[in-house]
Amino acid sequence: MRKWRNEQILDVYNVILGAILILSPWLFAFEREPARLDAWMTGIAVMVVSIAALWVFSEWEEWTRLLLGLWMIVSPWLLGFAHTAAMHIAIGVGLMVVYLAILELWLIHYAPEQGSRA
């Protein structure tokens, strides 16, 4: 049986964020097709990478999520749905995904050891 890592809860949060992103075109009535496709594809990618991280941890998954989050932040301007409700959702979820990816990378590399007490 695999041992639960404390950082894995961040992967669970990312699965939830991916699901929110997938549902957002229906919840917030996205008008533009590029916004809908971007939300679905990026949400699926975030969920797949997060589920993979829950199953078998590898650091590349965190870097992939970091890139996906950065994509969500810039995609409204690159895909032409700036100044819409979809832009706000993409940027908000993207910022949260970036934050969680950076936090998990920091916890992996710089967090104090569990057994060491001062």
User: The whole model's pTM is what?
Assistant: 0.88
d(CA 50, CA 85): 25
d(CA 74, CA 115): 41
pLDDT tens-digit readout, 84-108: 999 999 999 999 999 999 999 999 8
Residue 50 counted as domain residue: yes
**Confidence at residue 1, expressed as pLDDT on a 0 to 100 scale:** 46
Q: How many domains does the chain have?
A: 1
Residue 70 counted as domain residue: yes
Residue 3 counted as domain residue: no
Residue 2 counted as domain residue: no
Q: Look at residue 57 and give its three-state secondary structure.
A: coil
pLDDT tens-digit readout, 32-85: 999 999 999 999 999 999 999 988 888 899 999 999 999 999 999 999 999 999
